[in-house]
Amino acid sequence: MKAMKIGVGLAMGAAITVAGVFLLAGPKAGADPTDAAQVAQGKAVYAEQCASCHGARLEGQPEWQSRKPNGRLPAPPHDASGHTWHHPDADLFRITKQGVVEFAPPGYESDMPAFGGVLNDAEIWAVLAFIKSSWPEDIRRRHAALSERAKK
């Protein structure tokens, strides 16, 4: 009987530990352009939060590489024609959550706000999954390799 109580106690302790780890870690982080549900969520969030600047078709603003009269750059495209895929996933996530200014040289100004107070982490990853889903397979492969190298 005593052994059974110890076994039950150990099993409960293990279950609580596993549940605690899941709650602390949350859902798996990452942007998977092959995950239809994540891409669909990202498409909806993108339409609501990002398309007004970056374009409904991820095309960015006209002349996105030329500074506006105020010295700021227009919103770049997120399709394969832009430079989004030149940045690893972790950087794209942090730029979206914390804003561009956190990663730019001192004095840099941008119209890109931080979305950490607007979107949760899962929504940010979903938007990135949606963006990545628009890229051709060769760009996805190159971006995945870049993101893997950045982890090391």
**Full-model pTM:** 0.80
Model pLDDT for residues 84-94, shown as the tens digit of each residue:
999 999 999 99
Asked if 46 contacts 131 with a C-beta cutoff of 8 angstroms, the reply is yes
Model pLDDT for residues 100-118, shown as the tens digit of each residue:
988 889 988 899 999 999 9
Handedness of CA 82, 87, 93, 97 (dihedral sign): negative
Which residue would you say has higher pLDDT here, 150 or 103? 150
DSSP codes of every residue in 12-75: HHHHHHHHHHHHHH-SPP---TT-HHHHHHHHHHHHHHTHHHH-TTS---TTTTS--TTSPPPP
What pLDDT shows up at residue 62? 96
**In this structure, how many other beta carbons lie within 10 angstroms of the beta carbon of residue 76?**
20
Model pLDDT for residues 28-61, shown as the tens digit of each residue:
589 999 999 999 999 999 999 999 999 999 999 9
Model pLDDT for residues 119-145, shown as the tens digit of each residue:
999 999 999 999 999 999 999 999 999
| Spatial distance between the Cα atoms of 131 and 60, rounded to a whole number of angstroms | 12
What pLDDT shows up at residue 98? 96
What pLDDT shows up at residue 33? 97
Among all chains, which residue has been given the structure tokens 């960015």? 60
| Spatial distance between the Cα atoms of 111 and 120, rounded to a whole number of angstroms | 20
